[in-house]
């Protein structure tokens, strides 16, 4: 194999692994998001929704900010078997759309542009 063919194969292998771990990463993210939102969802009145939710309590706003940040750069670490040993690989996922849906469903928060 030529050097270019090897590089292309390595890139393809990485992309395959990236996609194969995406569901696991999303599940892990939702577990974190549920734990974080459980601490603040009781602060949101039943009839509150939209942008006003952000201003109800500083803890609610902090949770929304944290989840938005974590979701836009979620790092999922997996242990892979290499040729000679095990190694850790970090995959970075963008779950911004999933965060928006989670916040809408669990805290009633959404912005007007969504």
Give the confidence band of 24 by pLDDT, cuts at 50, 70, 90: very high
Tens digit of each residue's pLDDT (9 = 90 or more) over 7-23: 777 777 778 888 999 99
Residues 52-100 have pLDDT tens digits of 999 999 999 999 999 999 999 999 999 988 778 888 999 999 999 999 9
Residue closest to 33 by CA, chosen among 100, 114, 112:
100
According to DSSP, the residues that pair with 86 across neighbouring strands are 81
- pTM of the complete model: 0.82
Identify the pLDDT of residue 1.
59
Spatial distance between the Cα atoms of 109 and 104, rounded to a whole number of angstroms: 5
CB-based burial label for 29 (10 Å; 0-12, 13-18, 19+): buried
CB contact at 8 A, 90 and 76: yes
């Amino acid at each position: 194999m030529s050097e270019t063919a090897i590089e292309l194969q390595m890139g393809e292998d990485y992309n395959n692994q990236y996609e194969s771990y995406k569901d696991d990463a999303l599940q892990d993210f939702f577990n974190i998001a549920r734990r974080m939102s459980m601490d603040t969802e009781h602060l949101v009145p039943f009839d509150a929704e939209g942008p006003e939710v952000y201003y109800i309590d500083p803890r609610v706003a902090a949770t929304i900010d944290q989840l938005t940040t974590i979701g836009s750069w979620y790092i999922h670490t997996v242990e892979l078997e290499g040729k000679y040993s095990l190694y850790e690989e970090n995959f970075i996922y963008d779950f911004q759309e999933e965060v928006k849906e989670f916040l809408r469903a669990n805290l009633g928060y959404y912005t007007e542009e969504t």
